[in-house]
Amino acid sequence: MLTQSKIKEELKPVFKQLRTPTIMHCYEEEANRARSESWTYEAYLHQVLSLESETRTTNRIVGLLKASRLPLEKTLDTFDLNRLPLKLRQQVKVLTDGSFLDRRENVLAFGNPGSGKTHLVCAIGHELINQGRKVLFKSCNMLVQELLIAKRDLLLKKFLKRLSAYDVLIIDDLGYVQQSREEMEVLFTLLAQRYERGSIMLTSNLPFSKWEQIFKDPMTTAAAIDRLVHHSLILEMNLKSYRLEAAKKQKTQE
């Protein structure tokens, strides 16, 4: 029979090979517990494998969150859902189950500044990450600049491929900054490339009727809207500005 010290010595490289660091750290302690509590062999195996699996899930979510660039504080916990009309609340509930990503559907959030568009799409993003989905958050402006740089360096295809690894791309504030034709062209390329291949969540202060300001010519505007809308859910967020309301509340309290 193998001695305890022999087992320990031989297991170490096996844990490394199998990449099970959690079991490596906990198996002795859990074995002591198992002996003192008279677990079955199966119960012991279940315990150490569950610990490994739980740690992996947590680590994966931490990694996804870091890669997503989502603002950490904009979660559902910090979002007051009661400010939303019932229909919107129901839509949010549906979105947080994540199945729209499997259908490659888009989410388009419209509304005046301060209505909570950015916070809400980020909060949904956090929920999706908790389910193990890959999310990337970018302001539209930043995304366009990165696309342009990639194009200049003849790396556009590669950059688009990298973006296609995400289940959902959150593009925040389309149309907030007036962009040049060249800037809009790369954005259009991205929308076209992602069409029916991956979801986009987009926020904008501008309704479709004003998108010609963004995409410059009517044809590109129509084509962009068409691709985004084809499989999509629209969140109408024409609510009073949260900031304004919070400021007013504070004033009346003073």
Rounded Cα–Cα distance for residues 89 and 100 (Å): 16
> Would you say 164 or 241 has its CB closer to ligand ADP?
241
113 binds ligand ADP (CB under 6 A): yes
Residue 90: C-alpha distances to residues 99, 107, 119, 159, 231 (Å): 15, 14, 17, 35, 18
Q: Could you tell me which of 190, 198, 176 has the C-alpha nearest to residue 110? A: 176
Strands ordered across the beta sheet of 199-204 = 135-139, 168-174, 199-204, 106-110, 232-236
Which of 25, 56, 83, 231 binds ligand ADP (CB under 6 A)? It is 83
176 binds ligand ADP (CB under 6 A): no
Which of 119, 133, 138, 227 binds ligand ADP (CB under 6 A)? It is 119
> Would you say 118 or 179 has its CB closer to Mg ion?
118
Rounded Cα–Cα distance for residues 92 and 88 (Å): 6
137 binds ligand ADP (CB under 6 A): no
Rounded Cα–Cα distance for residues 166 and 136 (Å): 7
Give the 3-state secondary structure of residue 234: strand
Which of 27, 101, 106, 117 binds ligand ADP (CB under 6 A)? It is 117
240 binds ligand ADP (CB under 6 A): no
> Would you say 114 or 125 has its CB closer to ligand ADP?
114
> Would you say 121 or 150 has its CB closer to ligand ADP?
121
Single-letter residue type at 143: L
Which of 6, 35, 93, 243 binds ligand ADP (CB under 6 A)? It is 243
Could you tell me if 34 and 47 are in contact, meaning their C-beta atoms sit under 8 angstroms apart?
Answer: yes
Q: Which pair of tokens denotes residue 8?
A: 């320990």
- Total residues interacting with Mg ion, rule: CB under 5 A: 1
Q: Is the dihedral of CA 192, 195, 197, 203 positive or negative?
A: positive
Closest approach, Cβ 242 to ligand ADP, in A, equals: 3
Closest approach, Cβ 110 to Mg ion, in A, equals: 11
> Would you say 39 or 242 has its CB closer to Mg ion?
242
- Binders in 113-132 for Mg ion, by CB under 5 A: 118
Name the one residue in this structure whose structure tokens are 């200049």. 152
Closest approach, Cβ 235 to Mg ion, in A, equals: 13
Closest approach, Cβ 185 to ligand ADP, in A, equals: 26
Could you tell me if 237 and 120 are in contact, meaning their C-beta atoms sit under 8 angstroms apart?
Answer: yes
Closest approach, Cβ 236 to Mg ion, in A, equals: 15
Angle at 119 between CA 83 and CA 192, to 5 degrees: 120
118 binds ligand ADP (CB under 6 A): yes
Binding site for Mg ion (CB under 5 A): 118
Residues that bind ligand ADP (CB under 6 A): 74, 79-80, 83, 111, 113-119, 203, 242-243
